[in-house]
Amino acid sequence: MDIDSKPIVSLEGVSFSYNSQPVLQEINLSLFPGKFIGIIGPNGSGKTTMLKLISGILTPQKGEVKVDNRNVRTIPRREMAKIISMVPQESYVAYNYKIKEIVFMGRIPYINQWKGETIPDYQISYDAMERTDSLGYAEKRIHQISGGEKQRVQIARALAQTPRILMLDEFTSHLDLSYKYEISKILQDALKKELKCIISVFHDLNLASFCSDQLILLNKGRIETIGTPQEVINEYNLKKVYRTKPYIIQHPELSIPQVIM
Amino acid sequence: MKFLPKSEKNEYYGYPNWRSKAFFILIIGFFSILIIGFIALNFGAIAIQPQKIWSIIWQHQTDDSLGLIIWELRLPRLIMAMLAGMALAVVGGSFQGILRNPLTDPYILGVSAGAALGACIAIAFQYTMGLFLAPFLPVFALFGSFVSIYLVYLLSRKRLHLPTTDLLLSGVAINFFFSAIITLLLAISRRGTHSMLFWLMGDLSTASWQKVSWIALPAFAGTIYQISAALELNAMALGEEEALHLGIQTGKLRLKIFLTGSMMIAAVVSFTGLIGFVGLVIPHIARLLVGPDHRIMLPASALMGSLFLLICDTLARSIMAPNEIPIGAITALIGAPLFIHLLKRRNDSDGY
């Protein structure tokens, strides 16, 4: 851990409960810039809630969430939208917008209501579509394209928001192998270029291991362990959290652990 | 379908200039309103030559009976129909946007019924207790519409968000409940039933310049205010949480749209009665024609709504002239089949 660099996101003693049902308890966490951070854990362990607490959509009952060393509660929503953008798990777009219109919505936090958008807003949207390889269907409508294409459009929209932190909620749910690979390439590329860090919730442990520099394993609203994929994904941890005995093998080319049944 | 800048010259990176698009739609709408409005002035119980109408309008001639028919009867009625149509269509469009549901409109959510109930209560008081409440009728209507939207909101609110299905269902329930109270008021009051019936079926026959001046401000101000929230409504289409992540304060936005919408509806309903289907159908047609972008769709709805109600009212007063058909019946007669047709032919490449 680089001692000089300051954490970009930190949670200090954060507890959150939903209808007096505790979801997250006493979370202490510091996330440092330059990393792809994966959050894993069984269903209902509080993964998505953690993302929402960081982006300020939910407010913890106890503790403090800080982004850039500022309490999230003091950051206005519009300013927050310029810092963090979010790729939702699966979302239904209510009306049949064109792809280019959806990607352009990433510019909304920057557009002055009375002056309107400027040409750089168009340029940024265009570039985001180019990077995610979605220019080919920019003129199509959202209900016309496949699930994988929709996910890429959502990532393009999130990149068009020019955030410093990108958050994703199980971005690979129901995706083909090729899509998973392409999207993780796009994300790694963005992390190198402009993003301070990526925080992603994963359902797929192998993909989490493939993408992440640092993994957070959640269990019943508490952090079980944090570390590199090598440190986190081992039989002891997984058996304790998932309550089944997994087999762990090493990836033949990359030195990362992979889980098989 | 390749999306590339047409050449190096395309400064918009393949994006259309929505300002010129909106301007184009406004120009077309403006001229069609002028033309259709003039044609509509020709209809009525008394036939007047188009040249005569032209000269009456041009010379502002009000000293003979024909001049009075045009200036005091047909013209205020025409303008009131257009204002009402504009307000109903815009509120329908913005409610559909904020609730992410294309089956919403102020009628279904019970806002219109609330306004009508407020108005009917004022009439019932007037006839039973002899209180002269006519000037305060819009206030009663406004109060009624606020009460209904607040009830709907209370009934469907969950801890963090507002589930649309719950909202629609409570709207439907409130709508039935309020309509039942209106029917009850009708049944128990011996006098004033005619003026109450008017609120149930919609009627523009009592239009006057004074009423036009009452409606004009809330209709125009509300329309402009709601159109100014168009970009935020676009973000809502992605989902409530996505809109929050785009920096939209969704709770405030909802309050803004609901309050201005209820105000517009109360202003319209207290002078025209309940007119259904405009708020539901017109935004659908607008979306089909110009796409779902609210910055273009809402102004287009405003224009089409005023044209639609103008045409319906002309039919209402001329089909069985000199008898009148309630305008609510005409809008539903035209609107319902149109709506079914649209639903049947809808497909994924359409913009709605």
DSSP string, A203-227: S-HHHHHHH-SEEEEEETTEEEEEE
The three-state (H, E, C) secondary structure of A164-195, written as one string: CEEEEECCCCCCCHHHHHHHHHHHHHHHHHCC
Supply the pLDDT for residue B5.
47
Q: What is the pLDDT of residue B158?
A: 65
Per-residue pLDDT at B59 exceeds 90: no
Q: What's the pLDDT score for residue A75?
A: 93
In contact, B58 and B70? CB cutoff 8 Å: no
Q: Is residue A217 scored above 90 in pLDDT?
A: yes
Query: A112: distance to nearest CA of chain B, Å?
Result: 10
Instruction: Judge contact between A28 and A66, C-beta under 8 A.
Output: no
A203 vs B159, higher pLDDT: A203
Chain A residues whose CB is inside 8 A of the B293 CB are: 97, 101
Q: Does B8 touch chain A (CB under 8 A)?
A: no
Structural domains in chain A, CATH included, are: 9-223 (3.40.50.300)
pLDDT the model gives residue B348: 63
pLDDT for B128 beyond 80: no
- Tokens representing B117 are 């109930």
The answer to whether the CB atoms of B292 and A109 lie below 8 A apart is no
Query: For the residues B166-182, what does the mean pLDDT come to?
Result: 87
Residue A1 has a pLDDT of: 47
pLDDT at A30 over 80: yes
Q: Is it the case that residue B20 has pLDDT exceeding 50?
A: yes
Partner-chain contact A77 B237, CB within 8 Å: no
Once rounded to an integer, what is the mean pLDDT over residues A200-218? 92
Q: Of A57, A96, A111, which has the smallest distance from its Cβ to B350's Cβ? A: A96
pLDDT of A194 higher than 70: yes
pLDDT at B159: 52
Give the tens place of pLDDT for each residue, B175-205.
889 888 888 888 877 666 776 676 677 778 7
- Report d(CA B283, CA A139) in Å as an integer: 22
> What pLDDT is stored for residue B338 in this prediction?
82
User: Which of A81, A100, A109 is opposite residue B15, by nearest beta carbon?
Assistant: A100
Identify the structural domains of chain B with CATH numbers, from first to last.
6-349 (1.10.3470.10)
Smallest CA–CA separation between B215 and chain A, in Å?
A: 26
Q: Between A247 and A90, whose confidence is greater?
A: A247
The alpha carbon of residue A179 is apart from the nearest alpha carbon of chain B, in Å, by 21
Asked if residues B142 and B266 have their Cβ atoms less than 8 Å apart, the reply is yes
* Two structure tokens written together for B89: 């269509």
Question: What span, in angstroms and rounded, lies between the C-alpha atoms of B271 and B216?
Answer: 12
Q: pLDDT-derived band of residue B8, with 50, 70 and 90 as boundaries? A: very low
Of the residues A77, A85, A95, A164, the best mutation for testing chain B's interface (the one with the most B CB atoms within 10 Å of its CB) is A95
Q: Are the beta carbons of B245 and A78 separated by less than 8 Å?
A: no
CB proximity A201 to B under 8 Å: no
Q: Contact A95/B246, CB-based, under 8 Å?
A: no
Question: How confident is the prediction for chain B on average, in pLDDT?
Answer: 84
B232 touches chain A (CB under 8 A): yes
Q: How far is B335 from chain A (nearest CA, A)?
A: 21
Q: Which of residues 83-102 of A touch B (CB under 8 A)?
A: 84-86, 88, 91-98, 100-102
A63: left (phi over 0), alpha (psi -120 to 50) or beta: left
CB atoms under 10 Å from CB of B202, counted, come to: 27
User: Residue A199: its pLDDT value, please?
Assistant: 95
Residues sharing a CB contact under 8 Å with residue A23, sequence separation 6 or more, in sequence order:
A16, A17, A46, A49, A221
pLDDT at res. B7? 42
CB atoms under 10 Å from CB of B35, counted, come to: 10
Structure tokens at A254: 């990359």
User: What order of strands is seen across the sheet that includes strand A21-31?
Assistant: A21-31, A9-18, A62-67, A70-71
Strands (E), chain A: 9-18, 21-31, 36-40, 62-67, 70-71, 84-87, 165-169, 197-201, 214-219, 222-227, 247-250, 257-260
- pLDDT at site B2: 44
Say whether the peptide bond before residue B322 is cis (omega within 30 degrees of 0): yes
Which B-chain residues 111-170 have CB contacts (< 8 A) with chain A? 159-160
Candidate from B15, B351, B352 with C-beta closest to A122: B15
Least Cα distance to A212 among A192, A184, A176, A193 occurs for: A184
Q: How do residues B78-93 score in pLDDT, each as one tens digit?
A: 999 999 999 999 999 9
pTM for this prediction: 0.89
Verify whether the Cβ–Cβ distance B242 to A91 is below 8 Å: yes
CB-CB neighbors (< 8 A) of A112 in chain B:
none
The reply to whether B291 touches chain A by the CB within 8 Å rule is: yes
Q: Do A100 and B14 touch (CB under 8 A)?
A: yes
Angstrom distance (rounded) from CA A69 to CA A10: 8
Radius of gyration of chain A measured on its C-alpha atoms: 19
